[in-house]
A = this chain, B = another copy of it.
Amino acid sequence: MNAKTVPPTARTRVRRIAERARHDRSTLDAILDAAHICHLAFADAQGVHCLPMACWRRADHLYLHGSNGSRLLKLAASGAQVCATVTHLDGLVLARSAFNHSMNYRSAVIYGVCERVADADKPAALDAFMETIAPGRSREARRGNASELAATTVLRLPLDEFACKVRTGGPEDDADDLDLPVWAGVLPLALVPRPPQPDGAFDTLPDYVANWT
């Protein structure tokens, strides 16, 4: 539990419905640790881009990786400012008026410049990624060999400038609407595991497969 609160900057001060804002690391870490992907925004000569990327957190950084040949990775490694956003959609909020409909969600927006992870630190960073997906698997799967590691860029974005926004709970209807004969409430959504699909026959199942659903 990291109770540290990071004061908002001009970019991370939440102005729309500011009571939903969170600037503490506990909230940020929980949102990031529940995610497998983020959306990374960056700009180049062709404009502003927004691409999905696998991501994982280690201590005070959000990690990204990809092929050395990726234009996104090359640009992000070049010192360009990026914005990485993670959003979990938790439900549709149905109010009695159209105007007060909303969604429940947890989002984290991180601004910064990526650092390139040194070659010597890549194996540990990638092992940590594997552990976030399947605890124990970093010791089971064949680890990257020299050429695979050399072909992979690993970047990390410091968790220094961020804003989280969280909405929970039911609809907030206007008092005048409360007696309208309209169903109101939350239609929850969750990203959940479905039964594993093995690629071949296996005598034993690792815990992260046996316990997946």
Interfacial residues, chain A to chain B (CB-CB below 8 A): 10-11, 15-16, 36-37, 39-43, 46-52, 54, 66-67, 69-71, 81-85, 87, 89, 91-92, 94-99, 101, 103, 105, 107, 109, 111, 126, 130, 133-134, 137-138, 140-145, 148, 152, 170-171, 173, 177, 180, 182-200, 202, 204-206, 208-209, 212
Establish whether residues B196 and A69, one from each chain, have CB atoms under 8 Å apart when the complex forms.
no
A171 to B180, CA, bound (A): 53
8 contacting pairs across A/B (C-beta < 8 A)? A15-B69, A41-B49, A41-B50, A54-B103, A98-B144, A185-B197, A188-B195, A192-B192
A-B pairs, top 5 by smallest CB distance, nearest first, are: A41-B50, A41-B41, A188-B194, A39-B39, A185-B198
Roughly how many angstroms separate A11 CA and B46 CA in the complex, as a whole number?
7
| Contact B94 A133, beta carbon cutoff 8 Å | yes
Minimum CB–CB distance from A177 to chain B (whole Å) comes to: 6
Q: What's the nearest-Cβ distance from chain B to residue A61, in Å?
A: 18
Number of copies: 2
A199 and B66 alpha carbons, distance in the complex (Å): 45
Cβ contacts under 8 Å, A200 to chain B: 184-185
CB atoms of A85 and B198 under 8 A apart: no
Of B109, B126, B202, the residue contacting A50 (CB under 8 A) is B109
Chain B residue nearest to A134 in the complex (CB): B94
Q: Is B42's CB under 8 angstroms from A48's CB?
A: yes
- B residues near A190, Cβ cutoff 8 Å: 191-192, 194
Contact indicator B141/A98 (Cβ below 8 Å): yes
